Every structure is written in structure tokens, then in C-alpha cells.
Amino acid sequence: MKLEDKLFLDKFTRDERSHIDIVSDDVCRRCPDKPCTIVCPADVYHWEGDHIVVSYENCIECGACRLICPYNNIACTMPRGGFGVQYRYG
């Protein structure tokens, strides 16, 4: 099963506002490995031409992204109360 299909199984309450921000696109352009595009387990980060696109609606709130960005360029918080993933099994 593909990752996007796995994520489709999870229950989300989607917020219209993102809880993740890229601080500076310039920093991402200079980042050689872009580890967020690999290690994020929910494929939230995609490199599209000249900047990172953040699919925050996919976020399953593990918090790894803020640890892996070598430049502390990901301002990641948790979704507002009542929003985001709602695990049924956990």
C-alpha cells in the first residue's frame, strides 16, 4: 500500500490554517540534502522547483521535522486544540 493510501486511512479534523511554516525559502534553496523531504513519515514536505511545499493537512504530529532541519528553518507547532490527526487505535 502506498503511503498516501495509508494516510487516507487516518482520521483528521483539518484546520484551514497551517501549523507549520518554512521560515525562509532562501535557506531551503541552499540546503543540499533537504532531509525533511525524506524523513517526515507523512510526506508533508515536497521540493517543487525553488521552494518547499508544506502539505500540513497530512501531518500526523510526530514532531520529527523540527529536529531534522539542519538550519532550524521549520517552525512547527501542533495544530490548535481539536484539530489535526485523531487516532482511533494509537
- 88 lines the binding site for another protein (CB under 8 A): yes
- 87 lines the binding site for another protein (CB under 8 A): yes
Q: Which is nearer to another protein, 24 or 72 (CB)?
A: 72
- 6 lines the binding site for another protein (CB under 8 A): yes
- 82 lines the binding site for another protein (CB under 8 A): yes
- 14 lines the binding site for another protein (CB under 8 A): no
- 67 lines the binding site for another protein (CB under 8 A): yes
The rounded distance, in Å, linking the Cα atoms of 48 and 14 is 23
Residue 18 contacts residue 84 (beta carbons within 8 Å): no
Secondary structure string (H, E, C) spanning the chain: CCHHHHHHHCCEECCCCCCEEECCHHHHHHCCCCCHHHHCCCCCEEEECCEEEECHHHCCCCCHHHHHCCCCCEEECCCCCCCEECCCCC
- 45 lines the binding site for another protein (CB under 8 A): no
- Which residues of the chain form contacts with another protein (CB under 8 A)? 1, 3, 6-7, 9-10, 13, 33, 35, 38-39, 41-42, 60-64, 66-68, 77-78, 80-82, 84-90
